[in-house]
Amino acid sequence: MKETPFELVKRDGRREEYDRTKLARSLVRAGVAPDMIAGILDSVAPNPDQDTGSLRANVDAELECWHPNAARRYATTRSLTARGSEQAGYGWVCVNPETVSRLGLTPGDTVWLSDSGTPAPFSVESHEDVEQGQVWLNPREMAAMDVREGMKLAASSIYLETAVPPEEPQAIGRAAATTAWSLNGMAGPR
């Protein structure tokens, strides 16, 4: 049976069509084992007009029941859009204060950023001018990391190793419970 499309309400009040694959990608980025994802998606199927914050809370609760470590990773992983800015010093990133809080960080803490390679550590600077969902990086550092303007990065307060892509789940096995990778251009729920 095909799902009937409906909309979720974003934090800023915008409405967006619910996309089950988008939620699945956010679970993958947080290191949730591929064999757990379908069950979680079925358990937390949202209602029309549900807000994304309550959907995230439902996912958190479901993960906490079955895999507390995955719940912590999910709660502390966000998808951020890379922007180049000279205001970000080398080794530092600028992030919106609310995003810093949602990552469970305070200014000066370490955030781990990854596009598809090994996560890189950066010190966090809270900056009001940074838009929600963005991270400002030093342009030279972006070039060295091969990160392009507008690229989606997984940001986490917990170090997440990268692993084989999700298209090859048989190669992942038990290691998937402690690994994560980001998917370029794919954003998770906000």
| Digitized pLDDT (tens) for each residue of the chain, 190 residues in all | 455 577 888 877 888 888 888 888 888 877 788 888 888 998 888 888 788 889 989 998 998 887 888 888 888 888 899 999 999 999 999 999 999 998 889 999 999 998 766 788 999 999 999 998 999 999 999 999 899 999 989 898 887 554 333 333 333 232 332 233 333 333 333 3
Q: For residue 32, what are the contacts with CB-CB under 8 A and spacing of at least 6?
A: 40, 63, 67, 70, 73, 74, 176, 177
CATH fold of the domain at 78-156: Barwin-like endoglucanases (2.40.40)
Domain borders along the chain are: 7-74, 78-156
Which of 97, 40, 112 has its CA nearest to residue 71? 40
